[in-house]
Amino acid sequence: MPSGTLLYAQSGGVTAVINATAAGVLEAARKRRVKVLAARNGILGALREELVDTSRMPLAAVRALAHTPGGAFGSCRVKLKSLEEDRARYERLIAVLRAHDVRWFLYNGGNDSADTALKLSRLAAGFGYPLTCVGVPKTVDNDLAVTDCCPGFGSAAKYTAVSVREAALDVAAMAETSTKVFVYEAMGRHAGWLAAAGGLAGKGPDEAPQLILFPERPYDEADFLAKVKGVVDRVGWCVVVASEGIRTADGGFVADAGAGKDAFGHTQLGGVAAHLAGRVHDALGLKVHWALPDYLQRSARHIASKTDFEQAQAVGRVAVELALAGRNATMPVIVRTSDAPYRWKVEAAPLERIANREKKMPAGFLRRDGYGITAAARRYLEPLVRGEAYPPYGSDGLPRYGHAEAPLATQRLAPFAEG
């Protein structure tokens, strides 16, 4: 039994399977008889010394996390700055880790969290404090470098593809006398991974979604409207998947154009789909419906991808192994060894190669006209949405989601004023 405590924290936007990673961490650590504290609300909990004592969670509760969406220990959107600018907070972190004999720190998040973990590991080394920092990948944006894909993305991608396929069947049935255009807004401020996943809903150019708008290509309204009209003329109806992050050629977010005033002069929170729907309605005179699933797409554990679920658990387990083996400043990443049959394994990668970088969609994933995905994109995406990993349901017809209710570890330090 290794001496010391492992600290686990969740960071940034949560996903349908980040708790599956947490379950992987907790189960693996229990097998190695390592005590795990989980920071409440991510790095904030570490600063505030609010550390959930997971040893007080029954094993059944730990296992229930595997099928529970959201962030069971709470997450946060707090980015630590450079060591120079944020020295007080980094030093506080070290003090809290020291107070609880934390020897291993697992930070479950995206680029920013990888950066924080890296900086913390450097600071600890500078202080001579023995700490192994391991980043654990997570993001529905799928934009982490090095790893083939990011846990959380596959499930959001499956939700997107399934939702678009279903809504398209609805539109097709209604189009003769009612809705002719349907716009679905997908998350993705900088990269169109989720919008691309929407493309899995259909194959030929006349199957929905007939048009996808990516942040990787400048949005040209006239061209878009002409394309919509062409599809409606040919097919009778049109389904559009739009990434929230599309921009016009001058670099402005289209979503910002949608933020206007309502009839009473109040702020109107629009978004891309609302804007596009308005344009299609006004310019083409077509009846249009639109959907903005927002958090639904990243919390839809009920339609999680089995691949994603298994990878999310695996990176949690491997993160514990890496930590206990002293592989400081690393992250377990998914390595794809074969497309068909799909095969993958988890390997360690240095945080330096991941922190603060952003993986864009390869240009070869976008169809030449910019409105669809290529066969290469399908080859990449399809295995990630494959398989179902249904949660258990209660007799009330709802998923039995778990909780991470456990007492906090006794606080040993004075409160941190700033945290």
Q: In angstroms, rounded to a whole number, what is the distance separating the alpha carbons of residues 419 and 41?
A: 12
Q: Write out the two tokens for 409.
A: 């570890």
Question: What are the tokens at 271?
Answer: 């978004």
328 CB neighbour count, 10 Å cutoff: 22
Catalytic residue among 141, 143, 148, 308: 141
Q: Is the Cβ of residue 108 or residue 147 nearer to a copy of itself in the bound state?
A: 108
By the rule CB under 8 A, 262 interacts with a copy of itself: yes
Residue 415 lies near a copy of itself (rule: CB under 8 A): no
In the sheet where 35-39 sits, what is the strand order? Answer: 51-53, 35-39, 5-10, 102-109, 132-137, 330-338, 343-350
**Using CA atoms, how far apart are residues 220 and 213, in angstroms rounded to an integer?**
10
Nearest to 103 by CA among 83, 124, 73: 124
Decide: is 266 part of the binding site for a copy of itself (CB under 8 A).
yes
Task: Decide if residue 284 touches a copy of itself (CB under 8 A).
Answer: no
Measured at the CA of 228, the angle between CA 226 and CA 231, to 5 degrees, comes to: 110
- Of 145 and 162, which CB lies nearer to a copy of itself in the complex structure? 162
Q: Which of residues 363-402 bind a copy of itself (CB under 8 A)?
A: 382-388, 390, 393, 395-399, 401
> Per CB under 8 A, does 177 bind a copy of itself?
yes
CB 20, min distance to a copy of itself, A: 13
Site residues (CB under 8 A) for a copy of itself, limited to 29-58: 41, 44
Q: Which residues, 62 to 81, sit near a copy of itself by CB under 8 A?
A: 68-72, 74-78
CA distance 71 to 284: 43
In the complex, least distance from residue 240 CB atom to a copy of itself, rounded to whole angstroms: 13
Please report, in angstroms and rounded to a whole number, the separation of the first and last CA atoms in the chain: 33
Radius of gyration in angstroms for the set of CA atoms belonging to the chain, rounded to a whole number: 23
What number of chain residues touch a copy of itself (CB under 8 A)?
91
Find the binder of a copy of itself among 103, 217, 298, 317 (CB under 8 A). Answer: 298
> 274 in helix, strand or coil?
helix
DSSP secondary structure string for all residues of 365-386: GB-TTSSSB-HHHHHHHGGGG-
Helix (H) or strand (E) holding 105: strand 102-109
Q: Is 388 helix (H, G, I), strand (E, B) or coil?
A: strand
| Nearest partner of 232 among 181, 177, 290, 283, judged by Cα | 181
Site residues (CB under 8 A) for a copy of itself, limited to 302-361: 302-303, 305, 307
260 belongs to the binding site for a copy of itself (CB under 8 A): yes
Member of 227, 301, 327, 359 binding a copy of itself (CB under 8 A): 301
**Which of the ranges 27-35, 295-303, 343-351, 365-373 carries the binding residues for a copy of itself, by CB under 8 A?**
295-303
Do residues 302 and 156 make contact, with C-beta atoms less than 8 angstroms apart? no
Piece in contact with a copy of itself (CB under 8 A), picked from 102-110, 157-165, 319-327, 343-351:
157-165
Contacting residue, 81, 126, 178, 339, with a copy of itself by CB under 8 A: 178
Three-class secondary structure of residue 389 per DSSP: coil
**By CB under 8 A, which span of 82-90, 178-186, 313-321, 353-361 interacts with a copy of itself?**
178-186
Interface with a copy of itself (CB under 8 A), residue from 90, 290, 309, 371: 290
To the query of whether residue 141 is one of the catalytic residues in this protein, the response is yes
CB of 35 to a copy of itself, least distance (A): 23
Query: Quick one: which of 101, 189, 268, 325 contacts a copy of itself (CB under 8 A)?
Result: 268
Annotated active-site positions, please? 141
